[in-house]
A and B are shown apart, each in its own frame.
Chain A
Amino acid sequence: MHWINWAVVVAYLAYVAVDGLRRTRGGARDLEAYLLAGRSLPWWAVGLSVMATQLSAVTMIGTTGQGAVDGLRFVQFYFGLPVAMVILGVTLVPFLRRAGVYTAYEYLERRFDARTRALTATLFLLSRGMSCGTIIAAPAVVFAAVFGWPLPWCVALVGVPAVLYTVAGGVQAVAWADVKQMALITVAVVGAVLVLLHRIPVAPAAALHVAGAAGRLRAFDFTFSLTSTYTFWSGLLGGTFLMLSYFGTDQSQVQRYLAARSVDEARRSLLVSAYWKIPLQAAVLMIGVLVFVFYQFERPPLYYNPAHAQQARAAAPARYAALEARYGAAWGARRDAAAALARAPAAREAIAAFRARDSAVTLVRDEALALAGGATGTPAKDVNYIIPHFVTRELPVGLAGLFVAGVIAAAMASVAAELNSLATASVIDLYRRWVRADASDAHYLGVSRVATALWGVFACAVAVYAATLGSLIEVVNRFGSLFYGSILGVFFLAMWPRARAAGAFAGLLAGMAAVAAVNFGAPRVSFLWHNVVGTLVVLGIGTLVSVRSPGAPPPHSPPARAPRAGSP
């Protein structure tokens, strides 16, 4: 990559770290300022911070890559998000805000009991602590392969600035850094789309016809199936429950809107995502679709991951050379077919010819990936390398640097929010609740900084190991999805005055067991439905046990051992 691009990346990273450190001077003098920004943030800053937290580096390089190979289909995953935001705005947001809590799990002790709080907080810490490492690992692996750097350096590139400004400035620094990250990401995404439209050698309408003929513009699939992942119904129904669980019960999200100035500002902050998430996600996928069209007219490599090319060439040089030759010929034929299709988009023969040539190219690529997979002993996929290849070779100097900085910014925004919320749950739900309940505010502030730094070191260590054990990332993601829906069920149960602690705890365990069963295929249900299963089982079992629970406390009594909000 050109040195100017690197200068852009370095300048941006320095700016974010220095600005985060600068913010420590004015604020974060007490625990509430450090963890909740003194509940003083405006709705638009919280809204952008929520979006930045959710938009990770995987979105910038993985989702765009998915757009190139699979089209717009993935956008259906987000159809439930606006609905979820609307439901949260009228249910959980005012509930949690009025309770005056630091964490979502703290509220569960007030409403139910200490064990429900301890279990949910521990599950959050386990799952998010690991996933924080995988968030850093995902872009680090790609950078290591594309730029040829040692992996620990790439992990440090993302991890160190994020840890620095999060430790120093707390949620205030995180939220304001997120605002900048979102601005940068939006500029990078829009810039990439404009450059692509300029570089594709056919008119935009013709380019869309080429994408459409290859099925890349198919955004809707109305099939109702519990085993298909991305359909309209799984996105709308399953997605609503997933987003309700994520935005309503995950501390990394809840902490954002607890930091807003008022209930109304917290609600409005969620509506930022409700308005913009689907259009932004569609734009991100559209980059991938346009990159697909771009590579119809510009020769792409046989392998987008340079490491795959080296391994395949070293393992079977003759076969590699033969595949290269076949790929060149197949691609040339497809380029001619795409050009013919662009000239006559309605001609059936042109469409059929283009599809046949596209299948031939895919066939050669599949063979090549199988060769690389055989050489390395692990299945070779290079979806995540398509966009880095395009960005580093095709984007103009400056914009490429901006895009790479955008990828790092997206990773840092997610990591910073995770670190901040992990520290909050560790200090508020475990340390202050079980270890030391009567220390000064300054003591908890110091412990929060130390906890943030320790989680940062843990996340970087996990990232280095996760990167070498590809399947670990999947295990971590699966583990997280085991209990999201169940915790959401507990929060819904909390709104029912007759629900009891015994019902909530039994429901939580039953919900997690049910999701574990469907997760391991008994019966087989696609993951977007897992949260629906978890929530419904918790509500069912929780209601049953609550109704039969003898000697339960009256519904409006706070639990005897719960610390009050605002207590030191």
Chain B
Amino acid sequence: MPVPPADSATDPAPAAPPRFRTTLVRVLVVQAAALALLALLQRAFTP
């Protein structure tokens, strides 16, 4: 197993790659859509 450099534990985390950032935005959009669907369900069927 590779041994990490001595200061790796306190180095700042590497920035998220652009593809990952796009995925993050996608996650948030999908979740917002899921919550909107639940809200719609509540609004349409709860008197």
Contacts and interface: CB of A to CB of B under 8 A. Distances in A.
A30 to B, nearest CB: 9
A110 interface: yes
A94 B14 contact: yes
Chain A interface: which size bin?
35 or more
B47 to A, nearest CB: 5
B8 A212 contact: no
Interface in A262-312: 263-264, 267-268, 271, 274-275, 278-279, 282
B7 A558 contact: yes
A351 B47 contact: yes
Contacts of A20: none
The 8 A-B pairs of least Cβ separation, nearest first, read A212-B45, A566-B1, A556-B7, A212-B46, A110-B9, A219-B38, A94-B13, A208-B45
Interface string A205-224: 00011011101011110000
Contacts of A494: 9-10
Nearest to A210: B45
A82 B31 contact: yes
Interface in A23-80: 32, 72, 75, 79
Contact of A72 (B3, B15, B38, B47): B38
Contacts of B30: 275
A523 interface: no
Interface string A480-502: 00000000000000110100000
Interface string B23-47: 1100110110011001101101111
A220 B41 contact: no
A98 B42 contact: no
A110 B27 CA distance: 33
A275 B27 contact: yes
A275 B25 CA distance: 11
A89 interface: yes
Contact of A90 (B13, B34, B39): B13
A490 to B, nearest CB: 13
A209 B3 CA distance: 61
A128 B30 CA distance: 33
Contact of B3 (A75, A100, A212): A100
A565 B9 CA distance: 11
Contacts of A267: 16, 20
Contacts of B17: 264
B10 A497 contact: yes
Contacts of A90: 13, 15-16, 20, 24
A219 B38 CA distance: 7
Contacts of A219: 38-39, 41-42
A217 B47 CA distance: 10
A99 B8 contact: yes
A111 interface: yes
Interface of B: 1-4, 6-17, 20, 23-24, 27-28, 30-31, 34-35, 38-39, 41-42, 44-47
Contacts of A396: none
A212 B38 CA distance: 12
Nearest to B15: A90
Given A264-B17, A565-B3, A271 B38 contact: no
B36 to A, nearest CB: 11
A111 B27 contact: no
A218 B1 CA distance: 51
Contact of A556 (B10, B31, B47): B10
B31 A220 contact: no
A225 interface: no
Given A110-B9, A212-B45, A99 B4 contact: yes
Given A89-B24, A215-B46, A267-B20, A282 B34 contact: yes
24 contacts: A86-B27, A90-B20, A95-B9, A98-B13, A99-B8, A100-B8, A208-B41, A208-B44, A211-B45, A213-B47, A217-B45, A217-B46, A218-B42, A219-B42, A267-B20, A274-B27, A279-B34, A348-B47, A495-B12, A495-B13, A557-B6, A558-B9, A565-B3, A566-B3
Given A497-B10, A558-B6, A566-B1, A89 B42 contact: no
A278 B31 contact: yes
Given A99-B8, A220-B39, A271 B23 contact: yes
Nearest to A211: B45
Interface in A81-128: 82, 85-86, 89-91, 94-95, 98-100, 107, 110-111
Contacts of B28: 82, 86
B25 to A, nearest CB: 10
A348 B38 CA distance: 24
Contacts of A213: 46-47
